Structure 1
Amino acid sequence: MNEFVRMTAVELLQGYKDKTFSPVEVTQALLRQISRCNPVVNAFNLVDEETTLEYARGSEQRYQDGSPRGLLDGVPVAIKDVFLTPMWPTIKGSKTIDPASTLGKEAPAIAALNRHGYVPLGKTTTPEFGWKGVTDNPVDGVTRNPWNPDKTTGGSSGGSAAAVPLGMGPLALGTDAGGSIRIPAGFCGLVGLKPSFGEVPHWPSSPFGTLAHAGPLTWTVSDCALLMNVLTEADSRDINAIPRRNIDYREAVKGEPQDLLKGLHIAYSGSLGYVQLDREVEESVRAAAHLLQSLGAEVTEVAPGFDDPLAPFGHLFYGGAANALRNIGKRQRALMDPQLVAVAEKASQLSMLDYLAAVNERMALCERMANFHRKYDLLLTPTLPITAFKAGREVPEDWSSTRWPSWTPFTYPFNLTGQPALSVPCGFSSDGLPIGLQLVGRRFDDATVLRAGQAYQLAAPLTDKRPALFTAGAAEGEKA
């Protein structure tokens, strides 16, 4: 039981293939881990054990018949509560959504997972409509960090990010319109990929438009690559999806670190030229840059040369929040996160010229980064300039700004550009909180981002270290 909740998806699949254990045994162990750990961190807002075990029994039967389905048969997956699931409601942390109205509908990611025989574990928490970089909402309350429940998970994919380190699921789905996969991955000490825009089909279209990406949260880069092989399958409902390239991401991350890094030119920027960093974050990410260099990559300390694009991001992102609320009346708005209502109402006053000016700045940033990557394969930065702060707050105490993007300066620029960006754990602060490094690649070069992330994780694995709550939960399971 203890071993099942520690296993990666790759390890689970090998065990199923060898008939060492079954999807039902694994799923039962994960559900027990959820029952022990979720009351502390509030990662899942919906757990339906009967339905989950029904999927697991179907997978078990396919293995017994010698006909497993696809790439993930029997692997449990946690689902952020913004993805439409036909059997479960999708309310996006909001009292304004009729749960029944969402049933019977299936997002592309869920359809792809189903084609590959996944086991759905339940729905995970999000701030209302995924609007901010921490996770709390009027329906589910506050989601807490697995390493220290007094701290935030970050967001908006905070529930998915809290689940994986605690062994409540080896794989999880998230979305990212300003850092919402990478922020909680950084704060919670796991791997999170924002794929290139259009690489993973997503439907219905996000109210945040072309800032929004769907992607994986996992314990290892290898598992991330595995899940990408599934999520990138074609789905005609996403009009922004690029033509399928049938890249085998699992194959792309095979090899020794030196082989994976051979020939790569990496730019390292600890500040992007304008960010103030926590000292321990700076030291950990700089050490990661040195390690990559020692393994054979050519690493140059250089900033990409753009000014902070917070203003254009704010216009586009909060314009998306206003878009999400456009059909919600005054009575229903009284049921919502008041800060979401406030930013949406302010953004609704933006003019068309304000919006187009932000688009112009976005295009200039895209051009700047395209030129930058003519010389450098990757840009290495911290994922975040700080470690996790007090749960239930949008910003740290005594912070100079009241809005969340002010402490996520390394993430939102690359939503504007649509580039792939991966967060990988690279250390811990003196008070035991995770630190993440971010690897940013050329648009549609997700494979190189994953290659470098895999090389780093193989050379500096932190995967054997789990939160204290995980260990306590596993020990209780063994006693049971």
Structure 2
Amino acid sequence: MTDLASLSAQALTQGYRSGELSPVEVLSACLERIDRFEPMVNAFVFVDREGALKAARASERRWRRGDQKGPADGVPATIKDNIAWSGFPNRQGSLLTAKTPAAFDAPAVARLKEAGCVLLGKTTMPEFGWKGVGDSPLTGITRNPWDLSRTSGGSSAGAAVAALLGMGVLHLGTDGAGSIRIPASFCGVVGFKPSYGRVPSYPLSAMGGLAHVGPIARSVSDVATMLSVISQPDHRDPTAWNLAPPDYEEVSNQELSGLRIGCSIDLGFADHLDPEIVSAVKHAAAELARLGASVDEIDLALEDPRDILATLWEAGAALLLRNYARGDWSRCDPGMARAAERGREISGACVIEALTRKRVELSASLSHIFESYDLLITPQMPTVALPAGMDTPPRGFAGVDEWGEDWTRWSPFTYPFNITQLPAVSVPCGHSSEGLPIGLQIVGPMRADELVLRAARAFEAAMPPAVLDIAGAGLGA
């Protein structure tokens, strides 16, 4: 019997076209998954069963009439809870935010609706997306299905978990310092941070040009399908390209022959790498070479740009909490409140320096790489998923005596590409001896999104990710 909740967007729409599948039946399968797994993993802020059923029935009628809206019509999707969806609150993982329903759809949500997607609900995130793990004062801990004692990663926590478990097919996330790629890596799914401006956003994030909107899904093909939908123009965002995108599902389906790929294990500054992850990434590099690419392991000399991130991130945190009474800050995640306190002390001159001179210098260093190589590959994360409920790993985790209090210390491969706004994807490349997923990061120069997806898709076809053994993971038979 076909497992409807595990089918790709392309397989679903083929089934809708032939009449063998129904959007209503597929919705039912996804809701059954939610009913089964949600009590254990906590991936949703809410599920809109009534609205989803109405959308699925409308899609079913369109397919029967032959006037479907396109390659995502009737495909179940979820929305991260910092993205406006008309008629529903935008809580952002915080007890401070209002329960008032949003009055409009953010651009990506509007495009999903226009494409006929069936919106299931909103997915969990840490408070205001401030950190890379999956817990918040509003919803508690979102757990990793591979091991319920581990974090899902964040901040697009529920999106990655929902993708892995078939609780929807297409999942909308955001990435300001790794928030799509971290949970994708920890959960063993695909997460893509497009070039900044490829996907319109409104309102613009308090984190400014660090924050990208992008897709999470089980496969590169589904990510590409979703990217084509959400990249359509929306003139509310003056920083967006607002150009019609290509069909990413089609253009990404090409061979790698002739591509030049540089492989950096540490970017020149990352430390505390788990040897199993280094081994997996080197094996992935060899596989890309076998597929026809020219792959060189390269020594980079980048300086850690964490000070740039901290300036912009903490100033953004202060901006997020500016409209709340200081007495209410005690209801925040303590780390979020501390970041906002530090942000209050950052001068406008420091923010401008980070946005201009420092960002340009880092961009120039990375652009030099792309004079010699078409793509760059790195580990996505230096460790596997952390214990749940912690901002940083405990002492001794992955053999490191002390990790410190800064969560970005354990995510050195993510934020450089938010600062420089380059396209980057996390694609599964193996598992640790504990059975936890390992991610490979593929990075391209600005606006080379289809090239990044092309490499990810070829790699995925050659090394398909492992399928979660639900019973073995403790999620029940």
Cα distance in 2 for residues equivalent to 1:243 and 1:367: 25
For 1:218, the aligned partner's letter is A
Q: Is the 8 A contact 2:232 2:244 kept in 1?
A: no
Residue number in structure 1 paired with 2:30: 30
SS, match of residue 120 in structure 1: strand
Q: Distance in 2 between matches of 1:250 and 1:304?
A: 32
More moved, 233-242 vs 300-309: 300-309
Q: Secondary structure at the match of 1:151?
A: strand
Question: 1:282-321 to 2 correspondence within 5 Å?
Answer: 282-321=278-317
SS of 2:39 mapped into structure 1: helix
SS of structure 2 residue aligned to 1:427: strand
**Number of the residue aligned with 1:368:** 365
Q: Distance in 1 between matches of 2:18 and 2:262?
A: 43
Code of the aligned partner of 1:13: T
In the TM superposition, residue 370 of structure 1 has moved relative to its aligned partner by 1.6
User: 1:78 maps to which residue?
Assistant: 78
**C-alpha RMSD of the superposition:** 1.5
The alpha-carbon distance between structure 1 residues 472 and 141, as it changes in their structure 2 partners (threshold 3 A), is: closer
Instruction: Give how far 1:473 is off.
Output: 6.8
Q: TM-score, normalised by structure 1?
A: 0.95
- Per-residue CA shift, 1:192-232, capped at 9, x if unaligned? 00000000001111010000000000111111111111011
- Shift, 1:385, TM fit: 0.3
CA distance in 1, matches of 2:471, 2:238: 42
Call closer, same or farther: CA 1:205–1:345 in 2, change over 3 Å.
same
Quick one: structure 1 residues 389 and 59, their matched pair in 2 at CA, closer, same or farther if it must change by over 3 Å? Answer: same
Tell me if structure 2 keeps the 8 A contact 1:193–1:224. Answer: yes
Task: Give the % identical residues.
Answer: 44
Count matched residues.
469
> Superposition pairs for residues 236-385 of structure 1, below 5 Å?
236-255=235-254, 260-276=255-271, 277-359=273-355, 360-385=357-382
Greater displacement, 454-463 / 406-415: 454-463
Q: 1:84, 1:469 → 2: CA distance?
A: 36
How far apart, in 2, do the equivalents of 1:400 and 1:220 lie? 32
Give per-residue Cα distances to partners, 1:381-432, cap 9 Å, x unaligned. 0000000011000011014211210000000000000000000000000111
Runs of 4+ in 1 over 4 A off after TM superposition: 469-475
Q: How far off is 1:357 after superposition?
A: 3.3
- Segments of structure 1 that go 5 or more residues without pairing to the other structure are 476-480
User: What does residue range 195-210 of structure 1 map to in structure 2 within 5 Å?
Assistant: 195-210=194-209
Partner SS for 2:152: coil
CA displacement 1:248-289 (0-9 Å, x = unmatched): 21111224xxxx211110000111122221011000011000
**Alignment partners' CA distance in 2, 1:442 and 1:462:** 26
Identify the range of structure 1 (2-11 vs 387-396) with the bigger mean alpha-carbon deviation: 2-11
Paired residues of 1:166 and 1:469 also in contact (CA < 8 A): no
The alpha carbon displacement at 1:39 in A equals: 0.6
**Kept after mapping to 2: 8 A contact 1:146/1:469:** no
CA distance in 1, matches of 2:294, 2:311: 37
Which SS does the other structure have where 1:79 is aligned? strand
Q: What is the rounded CA distance, in whole Å, between the counterparts of 2:422 and 2:102 in structure 1?
A: 33
Q: Which amino acid aligns with 1:274?
A: F
- For 1:455, the aligned partner's letter is A
Q: In 1, Cα distance between the equivalents of 2:283 and 2:313?
A: 33
SS in 1 for 2:215: strand
Q: Deviations over 1:344-389 (max 9, x none)?
A: 1112101233223323211100111122211111010000000001
**Does 2:429 correspond to 1:426?**
yes
Quote the offset at 1:293 in angstroms: 0.7
Deviation at 1:339, TM superposition (A): 1.4
The amino acid across from 2:185 in the alignment is G
